[in-house]
Every structure is written in structure tokens, then in C-alpha cells.
Amino acid sequence: MKISLIIPSRNNLKYLKWAYDSVRKNQGEHEVEICVADDASTDSTAEWCKQIAETDSNFKWIRNEGPERQGLVILNDRLINEVATNDICMIYHADMYLCPGALDAIEKHLTDKTIVSLTRIEPPLHPPGPEKLLEDFGIEPEEFDEERLLEYIEYGLYQPQRRAETTEGIFAPWAFWKKDFQEIGGHDTLFAPQSKEDSDIFNRFHLNGIEFIQTWQGFVYHMTSRGSRFNPASGGAPGKDSAEWLHTTTTNTKKFIKKWGTGILHDKYMKPIVPPVYKKSINIINSNPQLEDALEIWQNGGTDVIVEVDGNKFDNNDFNYIQNLNAIIQDSGEIGNFKLGNLLITINDLTTYEKDLIVCKKH
């Protein structure tokens, strides 16, 4: 299999070197093109990339000279569209160790109109979930216990936590056909520089008929969030969110809700759940600035569905109804009006618009 790994990197050279070495060590018989984007790093990433490119013909790189970062949204797409030469690509993180046999598992399951995610093995820096394995083999490259990780995989010590051979779900690292990525326009620049861009594109892949496969026969060890959320260069640390990440995730969560009419939804294995999207407006009487700000992102200016809110009566139950309004409208299934808590909901048209969002409009 010929595959291009897509790796933006910003001031995390220590992890990038570790990831690169693991790929070259464990790629097996596959032809792996490593595509790196240096996002205005100040830690000698550019010098390292130049050095590697002189001796590794399957290493390609670009650099954002900065001083401002471009982020994952721009640089992932640049690497995929401008740098990668293979039909198969994989979104990969600089803080991931590619385990032996991982690419074999991708090749086994990657067929037409599919995306294959490897199973992540992670130290317990995030809550557990059925889509990953929590096991601590180190949280820094210098303390990484490679020998014990390889024994964990080779002797099947993960078996008590293992699911079926495959489950449905998508998250990094995810391998895909470049044509499927380009068909929907890649990442939506609405979410630049980063945060929630992955959930958005996963929704769009799902609506476009892509099948998600997580293989439980191929693994990465993921030190988690070292390029963004926990990046020391931007004020983060293992388990400590950076102020930069908190700002972007808060801002882009609001953008996601405004676009899709709901928060991010998925099942326990991380398969997206995409309710219908309706054209909605919220009319408020007895309003106040705080209420207007809280409800603004839950409407898109349409008149197919109109929600009337009385600010003097609005409570937490009403806000919960607003957050789940798309599913409530779908369940109603008929034109007319009805009361729900303190809300008066009028449905004029049940036309849905989620498929209009499959191909992103560049912002």
C-alpha cells in the first residue's frame, strides 16, 4: 500500500521526531510518504525537516513562515491537496507512535467509500471510553516504554478491553481516499485555525455515504493533545489546557452549533449522529442581552420553524428544549404549533437542509 501521512506540527519537534522514527521503524512493506507542515515553529522544526528531506526521498514538507499560525484546518488541506502524491492519505498527529502491523490493518479494511481509524492506546490523561485503550507507557518521548508497549500488543494484553475485530467510529488517526476528501471540499475554513473542524468534516463524510471502520488490529500510542490543547509552547502541559486552546474550542463550538443546529453528537464508538437541519428563528419578548447572546447560536434566520420565548419565564428546561430542537421537530413530524415548557413552537415547513452542508463553502 502507498499511503501519505499528513502531519501539521507547531513547536513540538520532540514529538515529531519520535513519531517519524516510529513510522520508519514500523511501516513494514508499505510505501509511506510523510508530509509535514511546519506551522511557524520556533523550535528548529524547519531545520530538522530540511535535514530529513535531504536523506529521505519520501519525506516532504512545507512551512508557514508566520508569525501567526495557520492551524490544522489550512495546513491539513494544503498537505493533502498540494503535497501528498498518493491516493490514500492519513490524518496523523506528531504525538503518535505507529505500532507494528498498523498499516496492514488499514490495508485490510480500506475499501471504496470507507475511512479506517486505528485504535488509540493512551495514558490516562482523558476520561476512558469504549473506543480506546487506556494504558500508561509514558507521557513524554524520553520516558516512553517502547519495550512494554510492544509486549502489550504482541502478547495480546489488551484483549480484555478489546471489542470486535472492527467497530464503527472515526477519530485520528484516520486513513481515507483523497478523492472522498476532495469531493466534499476538505475541511471548512469556518473552523480555522483549528477545533471542531474534525467533527464537522466527520458529519459531512457521514452524510455523503462514507462508512467508518475502526480496526482493533492496528494501533497507535497517543501521548494526546501535545500539538494544541496540552502544548507547552502555548501554555499547556499534560492534563492542563492552554488558554489558546480554550479560546478556540469555545469559539468554534459556537460556530459548530450555528452551522448544524446542535452540539457535537456521536455514539459511544464515536460514530457521528447528525439530526436534520431546519431553518429556524427565535423570537424573544422581555429580552435581555444575556438571553439574546445565549440563544443567538441556536437559530439561522429561517422561517420554517419559529420559536417564541418569554424572557421572564425562560428556564433551564426551556434551554434544554432549544438545544434539542432539531430532534424535537423531527419527532413532531407535522405542520402546526405546540407548546413545550414555556416555548411556543410553530412549524411552517419540515424541509431539511443537512445535505446542503456536505460540500463546505470556504469562508
Going by C-alpha positions, the residue among 362, 5, 360, 3 that lies closest to residue 183 is: 360
Higher pLDDT, 221 or 242: 221
Lowest mean pLDDT among 25-29, 331-335, 338-342: 331-335
What percent of the chain clears pLDDT 90, i.e. is strictly above it? 88
**pLDDT, mean of residues 150-176:** 90
CA distances from 45 to 50, 56, 71 (A): 9, 16, 15
User: How many residues does this entry show for the chain?
Assistant: 363
| pLDDT one-digit tens code per residue, 198-233 | 999 999 999 999 999 999 999 999 998 777 788 777
pLDDT at 12 over 60: yes
**pLDDT, mean of residues 297-311:** 96
C-beta separation of 45 from 19 below 8 A: no
CA distances from 275 to 47, 101, 117, 328 (A): 47, 37, 23, 10
**Which pLDDT value is given to residue 181?**
98
pLDDT at 363 over 70: no
| pLDDT one-digit tens code per residue, 97-130 | 999 999 999 999 999 999 999 999 999 988 999 9
**pLDDT, mean of residues 267-275:** 97
Spans of all domains in the chain: 2-260, 280-357
pLDDT at 26 over 90: yes
The CATH topology of domain 2-260 is Spore Coat Polysaccharide Biosynthesis Protein SpsA; Chain A (3.90.550)
Give me the half-sphere count of Cα atoms (radius 13 Å) on the Cβ side of residue 280: 28
Q: Across the chain, what does the average pLDDT equal? A: 95
**pLDDT, mean of residues 151-174:** 89
C-beta separation of 243 from 249 below 8 A: no
Q: In the beta sheet, which residues pair with residue 336?
A: 347
